[in-house]
Amino acid sequence: MTSPAGPTWPTVLGRLAAGLDLDSDSAAWAVAQVMSGEAAPAQVGAFLLGLQAKGPTAREVAAAAAVMRDAALPITVPGVLLDVVGTGGDASGSVNFSTMAAIVAVACGATVVKHGNRAASSKAGTADVLEELGVAIDLGPEAIASCAREAGIAFAFAQVLHPAMRHAAPIRRELGVPTIFNILGPLANPARPVAGLIGCASERMAPVMAQVFADRGDRVFVVRGENGWDEVSPYGVTQVWDTTRGGVIEERLHAVDLDMGDIAEGALAGGDSVANAEVCRAAFGMPREHPDLALPSDIDAVRAVVIANAAAALAAIAAAHGADTSAPLLERIRAHMTDTRAAVESGAAGGILRRWIDTSRALRS
């Protein structure tokens, strides 16, 4: 329990050292101390490692995410917003599926504010690939809101929108192990979307994240492939923690049922930001910037994964709009696959990307 005088580092760290959970006030206090720069490096490191060793609870994660969102520069966009984002850290080395799926979802009518950052453990993060594609990634809150309204999609760059994270970043790099901050990004989008397709590479933390979303009333699918991918996976079974029907309901999706059953191992390999941007252009039927560059992926296979993931994202935002969620999950997702396939094959998704590039650049100038 929190002492009458309020949390202190000795009480917080003492509980973690004993393997005991923190209450919401103590967790929020500790994260606020970290993000304000008031905590000493030793205190930050001990807190992050202690919490990770114990295993963060939904209560602790919710408190931390609330502090992080409240400290962010706010983005105000009217209407129901969608995010398609993963925690990263799945070591798949694949292309940027969440980015492409988000674009396809917009081509099908959704409005997306995509929260993301540069690569941490992969060769190319969302920010790296979008920058290579020509999107202005460093917009401020008002320009992001304008971009979302005008283009249907915008990028919320974590480095720009979460300035308080600068206090934790060096210590996280020095620790070199996953911490609670690895899962907070999808929970702390400053635009506060209420729908999402959220990938989580950690089997332990995926249901915890889902519980936080459910307690907030958000309509999301938290997904993890049995191979550890933070996407609706083309290989085997994807675990789904569904919050679109109230509470958290665990489901399973089979790749073959989403038209991804015959994708060869290695067909989805990614590369650096240049290679992954070229894969995106090719998947959307756009002119390539580097036509002599050998693509690391099979483009038909990439399209199949993007189509399935975009359909799952659309099922989530449909629930946020009040759609009937009584049908089986697979049926709800497949209901959107005709539209997502058409958006890819017709060039509509490429048109959204071009509009995003032009709009973001105009807003930055």
Cα separations in angstroms, 256 against 201, 225, 260, 335? 21, 13, 5, 16
pLDDT digits (tens, 9 = 90+) for 310-352: 999 999 999 999 999 999 999 999 999 999 999 999 999 999 9
1 has pLDDT over 50? no
Answer whether residue 90 shows pLDDT above 60: no
Q: What was the pLDDT predicted at 178?
A: 82
pLDDT in tens, 178-203: 889 889 989 999 999 999 999 999 99
User: Residue 3 has what DSSP assignment?
Assistant: -
Q: Record the tokens describing residue 322, joined without a space.
A: 């009040």
Report the pLDDT value the prediction gives residue 280, as an integer from 0 to 100.
98
> Which amino acid belongs to residue 55?
G
Has residue 91 got a pLDDT over 80?
A: no
340 phi and psi angles, rounded to 5 deg = -70, -35
Read off the tokens for 331: 């049926």
pLDDT at 365 over 90: no
One of 3.40.190.10, 3.55.40.20, 3.90.1300.10, 3.40.1030.10 is the CATH number of 82-364, namely 3.40.1030.10
Which residues, listed in sequence order, are joined to residue 112 by a DSSP beta bridge?
82, 153
228 has which bridge partners?
none
Look up residue 94 and give its DSSP letter. Answer: B
Q: Contact at 8 Å (CB) between 105 and 317?
A: yes
Strand partners, 198: 85, 222
What DSSP character marks residue 302? H
Q: Residue 86 carries which DSSP code?
A: E
How far, in Å, CA of 364 to CA of 293, rounded? 30
Give me the residue label for tokens 């506060």: 192
Give ranges for CATH 1.20.970.10 in the chain: 9-55
Prediction pTM value: 0.95
Q: What is the pLDDT of residue 3?
A: 47
> Which DSSP string do the residues of 101-126 spell out, in sequence order?
HHHHHHHTT--EEEEE-S-SSSS--H
pLDDT tens digits, one per residue of 229-250: 999 999 999 999 999 999 999 9
The pLDDT of residue 177: 81
Q: What is the mean pLDDT of residues 252-257?
A: 98
197-231 confidence digits (pLDDT tens): 999 999 999 999 999 999 999 999 999 999 899 99
What pLDDT, in 10s, does the model give residues 4-58? 579 999 999 999 999 999 999 999 999 999 999 999 999 999 999 999 999 999 9
**What strands lie across the sheet with 249-254, from one edge to the other?**
153-157, 112-116, 82-86, 195-199, 219-225, 237-242, 249-254
Q: Is the pLDDT of residue 175 over 90?
A: no
Cite the residue boundaries of each domain of the chain with CATH code 3.40.1030.10.
Answer: 82-364
The amino acid that residue 217 corresponds to is G
Listed in order, strand segments (DSSP E) in 151-218 are: 153-157, 195-199
Which is it for the CA torsion 94, 291, 308, 360, positive or negative? positive
> What is d(CA 163, CA 296) in angstroms, rounded to the nearest whole number?
35
Provide, for the chain, the percentages of residues in helix, strand and coil under a 3-state DSSP scheme, each rounded to the nearest 5. 50, 10, 40
Mean pLDDT value across residues 261-265 = 89
- The dotted CATH code for 9-55 is 1.20.970.10
* Pairwise pLDDT comparison (336 vs 3), residue with the higher score: 336
In three-state secondary structure terms, 249 is strand
**Contact indicator for 355, 151 with CB cutoff of 8 Å:** yes
Decide if 16 contacts 52 (C-beta within 8 A). no
As a whole number, mean pLDDT of residues 117-136 equals 83
286 burial type by CB count under 10 A (0-12 exposed, 13-18 middle, 19+ buried): middle
Give residue for tokens 């590479």: 201
% of the chain residues with pLDDT over 90: 85
